[in-house]
Structure 1
Amino acid sequence: MENSKHVRDLSGTEEELKKWIEKLCMDTWREVYQFIYYKVGNREEAEDITQETYVKAMIYLKNEYALIENYSAYLKAIALNLIRDEWRKQKKGPVSVDIEELDLTGREEDFTKITEQRQTLKEALEKLKEDQRRVVELRILKGYSVKETAAILKKKESHVRVIQLRALEKLAEILKSYAWEL
């Protein structure tokens, strides 16, 4: 989403503010909903969280001093916080655990395995071409959209998609050589 489409006139009337917020919602709803749906995997929950995201954003955006550089990232941050809150609510509260009764055998191996996998992934990313690595970092690790990634890298969206596809194919090939299960 281009932020230039959503430059807010701080001197506007209440009606102009409502129209501006409505346009922002119309332009970003699909992207925000898809982001949330990808995280929660449930249509109804995704719709509820999307709606709550915009309610929270509107409350803040009504403040005349609210200045947001990247509305898409701002909305996704709100959504992610709401998702995390929901996940915390689903846990039924703290569980008391007797430390002496915990079976910690194998935990060190798990930690070691995770550390090794992270190192392997880092090495695999370093084997990609620079543009491929940047696209993977922006799109997958940081969650930017194709449009945002294209703007950052000053490339066409179609080119970003091609680079991403080739990068993921190459990454899969590299990781298979490390005997990763994909």
Structure 2
Amino acid sequence: MLKEETLKKAQDGDLKSIEDICSLTWETVYRFVYYKVQNRQEAEDITQETYVKALSHLQKNDTQIEQFTGFLKTVALNILRDRWRKRKRRGTSVNIEAISPEETAAEDTAEISAQRELIRKALGSLSEEQRMVVELRILKGYSVTETAKIIDKKETTVRVLQYRALKNLASILKDNNLM
């Protein structure tokens, strides 16, 4: 728990107090950010940026912050939202010169149809639970927790079902020379 005295010293620029604040709260903030971005490097960058912004705010403004960890999480969430907005505005870039119309048009649709049919049959050979887990986790992008709630199973059961389903699919597709 952070002491009010430590925050006051940090506001005045005391490096030892700033270091104490960071060492007491960094793990909580990092875990919060990592949960949101699921990328170690990005989580580290955002956590660092969170401390820079929060501490500069503390030093510029003489405000009382009751729950400093909550304040840090709010700053981190605002940084995340800003990053997500920037990505959304930018969209994805496509290099039109790199696309060859001849190659794109020349793809063998019969081969693609045959592959789709084999994949459909491979999915059909799975148990009902395995197929449902593959559909929810991989095709629809649900998390393990969400999938567990939907199929009314434990998270560990969902992970095992997914592992076994993917192992079975890989075996079937390998036998049909698709892998």
TM-score under structure 2 normalisation? 0.51
Amino acid at match of 1:117: Q
Q: How many Å separate the matches in 1 of 2:79 and 2:127?
A: 37
The partner residue of 2:81 within 49, 55, 60 is 55
For 1:117, the equivalent position in structure 2 comes to: 115
After superposition, residues 1-182 of structure 1 pair within 5 angstroms as 29-34=33-38, 37=39, 43-44=41-42, 54-55=80-81, 82=87, 85-88=90-93, 91=94, 104=102, 107-181=105-179
Contact 2:122 2:172 in 1 (8 A): yes
In structure 2, the CA distance between the partners of 1:46 and 1:141, relative to structure 1 (3 Å rule), is farther
The Cα of 1:87 is off from its aligned counterpart by 2.2
By how many angstroms is 1:29 displaced? 4.1
User: Once the two structures are superposed, what CA deviation does each residue of 1:53-78 show, in whole Å capped at 9, x if it has no partner?
Assistant: 84269xxxxxxxxxxxxxxxxxxxx7
Shift of 1:27: 8.5
Higher Rg of the two aligned structures: 2
- CA distance, structure 2, for counterparts of residue 176 and residue 159 of structure 1: 25
Letter in 2 for 1:87: T
Figure out how many residues of one structure are paired with residues of the other and give that number. Answer: 122
Q: Deviations over 1:58-104 (max 9, x none)?
A: xxxxxxxxxxxxxxxxxxxx78x94694422xx46x65x9xxxx762
- Aligned counterparts of 2:148 and 2:108: Cα–Cα separation in 1: 38
Q: Indicate if the aligned counterparts of 2:30 and 2:43 stay in contact, CA closer than 8 A.
A: no
Aligned equivalents of 1:137 and 1:156: distance in 2?
17
Offset of residue 176 of structure 1:
1.3
Which structure has more relative contact order (CA 8 Å, sep 6+)? It is 1
Q: Which has the higher helix share?
A: 2
Mapped contact 1:146–1:157 kept (Cα < 8 A):
yes
Structure 1: which 5+ runs fail to align? 1-24, 58-77
Going from structure 1 to structure 2, the CA distance change for 1:44 and 1:87 (only over 3 Å counts) comes to farther
Secondary structure in structure 1 of the residue aligned to 2:106: helix
What secondary structure sits across from 2:141 in the alignment? coil
Percent of matched pairs sharing the same residue: 37
Contact 1:33–1:47 under 8 Å retained in 2: no
Q: Structure 2: how far apart are the matches of 1:84 and 1:141?
A: 26
Aligned 8 A contact 2:37 2:43 in 1: no
The superposition leaves residues 134-180 of structure 1 with CA deviations (integer Å, 9 ceiling, x where unpaired) of: 00011111111111110111000011111111111111111112111
Q: CA RMSD in A?
A: 4.1
